[in-house]
Amino acid sequence: MKEQQIEDLINRYISVSFSVTKKGENLIKDSIGEEITNDQHYTLRYIHQAKTCTSTELAEVFEVKKSAITAIMNRLTDKELIKRTRDENDRRVIYLTLTEKGEALYKKTEDKICNLVGSILTSFEESEIVAFIETYEKLNSLLKNLKNCNLEE
């Protein structure tokens, strides 16, 4: 591939990646409403799927500092969406779980997001969706490996 073709593809990728990310985030925000932020929803989603986790685990999964997770946890606790429970054997460890209110809000917002994404996916053939997701998963894996390589250096 020629250098100019590579540069053009890089520019197309950066442009579309930025646009899709911003538009997607805004559509999700509009869909879930004002009750919680996108980051708070993703946090509720992770806790819902994991059933229980720690702030350290969340910081690792979302690749942010623990202080950022603490801020989100404080807001979610204030809204009575999560519950903090200390480990009986190690009081330093705090487990996070969803409250009934948190489960209900998660379900409500997740349903809205699924409807939004579903309405978009119906514009594509099944083979296109599968190919896109597989390619996106491959990109995710490549980025993860690149990050791990950079951490080891």
Per-residue confidence at 150, pLDDT binned at 50, 70, 90? low
Q: What is the pTM of this model?
A: 0.84
- Inside any domain, residue 143: no
Give per-residue pLDDT as tens, 42-78.
999 999 999 999 999 999 999 999 999 999 999 999 9
Q: Is there a domain that residue 54 lies in?
A: yes
In a domain, 48, yes or no: yes
Domain count, the chain: 1
Residue 6: pLDDT band with limits 50, 70, 90:
very high
Rg (CA), the chain: 19
Within-domain flag for 153: no
CA distance 82 to 100: 9
* Nearest alpha-carbon partner for 35 in 108, 111, 118: 108
User: Is 70 within the bounds of a domain?
Assistant: yes
Please name every residue paired with 86 in a beta bridge, in sequence order, or none if there are none. 94
Is pLDDT at 149 greater than 80 in this prediction? no
**139 in a domain, yes or no?**
no
pLDDT score recorded for residue 152:
63
CB 77 within 8 A of CB 69: no
Q: Residue 100: its pLDDT value, please?
A: 97
Task: Report the CATH number at residue 76.
Answer: 1.10.10.10
Q: Is residue 17 part of a domain?
A: yes
Angle of helix 38-50 relative to helix 66-78, nearest 10 degrees? 90
